[in-house]
Every structure is written in structure tokens, then in C-alpha cells.
Amino acid sequence: MSSGPRLASKRRTRTWGTDFALALSPQRDACIYPNVASTTEFNLSETAAVLSRTPAALDALLRGLPDTWVRRSEGNDTWSAFDIVGHLANLERTDWMARLRRILQDGEARPFERVDRFAQLKESQGKSLAQLLDDFARLRRENLAELQALNLQPDDFTRRGQHPALGVVTLAQLLATWAAHDLTHLHQLSRVMAYQYRDAVGPWSVFLGVLQCDGHSAPP
């Protein structure tokens, strides 16, 4: 689906639309944001700025890397870089925009579907990392185009939905979590990769914070 019934105002401010378009263009300069939100406050164009960059960042980091970095995990039942990219692609398909539409259509009346954190283990079978990176980039691009088309306004951000485990959440919290979820998996990815050199670095390991991290990821 592309939009579905919208209950909130559809007024469009030219500035807001321009901000969003600029956020999707990595070429823009930071100085177009003279009045950024105060720390930890949600801002749609800032959120979109992160969301639009993650696929290219992962692509630049991972495409073509040898299997040591891509296919190895931290041991039993932990994820490799390959698994992480598959997970990100899977949630683009099943989670973020589906939950956003649910909030817009049903509010708190109908809880979100639960996320299958292991779907990618099956879904990625037979695919290459390059295919997963392509999938993720395409799905993210499509989702951001749909998000932009929704033309959300500030009073939409307080609309509420029902998370199956967390209870009431707002649309702004969902969007902020979408961006922070990219960052939590970038955090995990850098740790999983560094883990492959945990012995190779010798005595330097005491100085490398990433090797002291025992991981703290949990379901989104």
C-alpha cells in the first residue's frame, strides 16, 4: 500500500518539504540547519538524513570484503556482518513502514505485528552480500520515498500506536528508533568485525574499546 486513510491534517509547509528533500540528498551542507532540535529531540529531516545514508555507508564498508570480515560472527548464535545486513533489509520489508501505516490507520486499536529477528537467516539463504546490500538500499529508498509522500506534519508525530511488548509508543518514537536501530547495528557490526582480530592486535587489545564491548543488542 502507499498511503491509506490519513486522519491528521495534510497541510503542507513548503519549508518542511524542502527540508525533507534536502535531508535525502547527501550533498547538502550542514549549515542549512541553523535551528536544529535540542539534544535527543526528534526531528524528521534529521532522522531522514541518517536513514538515507546508512545503505551507502554499509556498502562502502562491506562490499567485496573477504569472508573473514563478512561471514564470521562472535561465536555460537551470534550474527555476522552478512546476517546484520540481511536483518536490516528484512525490517525494511516487514517492520518500520508497516508499523507507521498501522499507527496512521488504526492508532492504538490494533497492536503492531511482532518482528521476526531471525527471518533473515532463511531469507538470505543463497544470496550474496552484494545482493543483500542492493536489497537493503532499494528497500530503504522506496520506504523513504513513501515516507516523504506521506508528508507528515508535526502534529502527526504525537499519534500513538500499540507495541506488542512495550505498550503505547508514538509515531515520532518509531521514526527515531528506525534511525537509532541503524546505529545499533553499525555498533554491532564494528564489534563483530573487530572481534576477528581480537588476538591479532596483541597487547594493543587493552586500548581498543571495541574489544572490551560484550555486546548489548536486543530485539527491536
CA atoms within 13 A on the CB side of 138: 9
What is the three-class DSSP state of 161? Answer: strand
Q: Can residue 197 be called a binding residue for its own copies (CB under 8 A)?
A: yes
Residue type for position 135: D
**Residue 104 or 193 with smaller CB distance to its own copies:** 193
Q: Which of 6, 68, 114, 145 binds its own copies (CB under 8 A)?
A: 68
- Decide if residue 57 touches its own copies (CB under 8 A): yes
Binding test (CB under 8 A) with its own copies, winner from 20, 44, 49, 100:
49
Q: Provide the minimum distance between the beta carbon of 174 and its own copies in the complex, in angstroms, as a whole number.
A: 8
Residue type, 5: P
Q: Is 146 in the site for its own copies (CB under 8 A)?
A: no
From candidates 8, 16, 61, 78, binder to its own copies by CB under 8 A: 61
Q: Is 127 in the site for its own copies (CB under 8 A)?
A: no
Q: Among 1, 7, 109, 166, which residue sits at the site for its own copies (rule: CB under 8 A)?
A: 166
What are the DSSP E strand ranges found in the chain? 160-163, 167-170
Asked if residue 163 binds its own copies (CB under 8 A), the reply is yes
- # residues near its own copies by CB under 8 A: 84
Residue closer to its own copies, measured from CB, 90 or 173: 173
Q: What are phi and psi of 77, to 5 degrees?
A: 60, 25
Which of 1, 49, 3 is closest to 151 using CA atoms?
3
Q: Which of 48, 46, 115, 61 is nearest to 87 (CA)?
A: 115
Q: Using CB under 8 A, which residues numbered 13 to 32 contact its own copies?
A: 25-30
Q: Does 129 bind its own copies (CB under 8 A)?
A: yes
Q: What dihedral angle (degrees, nearest 10) is formed by the CA atoms of 23, 27, 31, 37? A: 20
Which grid coordinates belong to 13? 509547509
